[in-house]
Structures are given as C-alpha cells and as structure tokens.
Chains A and B, each alone.
Chain A
C-alpha cells in the first residue's frame, strides 16, 4: 500500500524511483575509472616530453585508442552523475536546479562525443 496522498502523487514530489540506478552507475563507473585513470596518468607521464609524432603514434595503437574512448566516456558519465548530486544538494531553486542539471548533461554529452571523435580520427589516421 502507498502512504502518499493522491495530491502528493499528482505533484510528483518524493522518490522518482530512479535513485538506485544512479547510485549503481556512479559506483560501476568509479570502479572502471580506477585502472583507466592510473593507466592515463602513467601514459601522460611517459608522453609529457614527447613530440607530436610520438603522441599520434601512441594514439594510433588500437588498445590505446580503445582505452582513451573508454576513459572519455566513463569520465564524463561519472562526472555528470557526481555533479548532478552536488547540484541537487546545494541548488534549491527548482528551475535553476533543473537547468543546471540539463546544462551539465548537454556539456558532458558534447565533450564525450568530441573526445571520442578526435581519438578515433587520430586512430584511423584521418
């Protein structure tokens, strides 16, 4: 049985019943980011004095391109979910909150698409 009044249900306030999915994906992306971030930091350290050709050759390597695509996608997914929680906790104006979350999602998707595109462009030698 439900303890919510019909009015409360109509207003749509309270649990959207989607919180668990958000929480689970935040954790799964976190687990995936542990090896991805460690690999990326080591890679950047190895490449920080390298010239352009070395960097491009590195990105040409299939497994490097795959890991970079995964890194970009996972980082933005994780960041998007994390920033959403921060906004929900501190922004209490409903419209501002909604706008901020939508904006964060748009920026995340755009940067994910851009990141993946440029990695593939280099990987496929465009």
Chain B
C-alpha cells in the first residue's frame, strides 16, 4: 500500500472556513514577519551606537514613506501576535475552549490589535514626542 498519497491532517481542502484556522495561519505569518522585523530593531540599535551620522541615516530611512509603512505593518503584526499570543496562553492554561469563546476572543483580538495600532498612529502623528 502506498502510504504517501493518503490525505494528511488537517484536510485543508475539505475544511469549511473558520476564524480559528485563519487566525492560526495569520499568527504564524505575523510571527515570521516580526522575526524579519527584528532586523530593523537591531539596525536601529547599531545605528544609535555608531554615532550621529549613522543614526541620522537610520532616522531618515524610518522617516521615508516606505520606512513608515513598514513600521506600521510591523506595529499591527506585533499587536496581533501579542493579543493572539495571550489567547494562546489562555488555551495553554486550559481556558477558553468553548466554540462561542473561540469566536468572541478571536474577533476581540482583531478589534484590540486594530484599536492599539490606530492609537499608536494617532499618537505618533499628533502628540508623539514632537520637540
């Protein structure tokens, strides 16, 4: 018997769409994207340690439109991964396994992540540490 051609779990092809699987996939995707984002963190730290000229270059880059777009995508991904990560921690503690709870916490993660990102954007372009 050829075992290689048997369908393997989780049978994505026959699954009805559910918020749980989408959020799980996005949790991984944001995790990978945030891992790439750590390069920006280290670059920023190295720039700060390298002197005013190097820092000015980094500051200029993060201020360009592409730098800003990247930063805000990373911010949204961070808040999503953070909120959904807390959801995962509750599951690890054995809590929140009712179907209804899955949906409530799932949509809450989206709402909270978007609200936090929006607050960060508003803060950055209005009050945010302007000299």
Contact = CB atoms under 8 A, between A and B. Distances in A.
A48 B78 contact: no
B95 interface: no
Given A45-B123, A55-B55, A68 B129 contact: no
A49 B130 contact: yes
A118 B85 contact: no
B129 A49 contact: yes
Contacts of B123: 45
Contact of B129 (A33, A34, A48, A126): A48
A93 to B, nearest CB: 14
Given A114-B42, A114-B46, A122-B49, A37 B124 contact: no
Interface of A is mostly: helix
B32 interface: yes
A98 B44 CA distance: 31
Given A79-B38, A111-B42, A115-B45, A46 B52 contact: no
Nearest to A117: B49
B129 A47 contact: yes
A96 interface: no
A41 B48 contact: no
Interface string B30-57: 0110110011011001101110100110
Given A45-B123, A51-B131, 13 more contacts: A30-B88, A30-B89, A34-B85, A41-B78, A52-B55, A55-B48, A55-B55, A72-B41, A79-B31, A79-B34, A79-B35, A86-B28, A122-B48
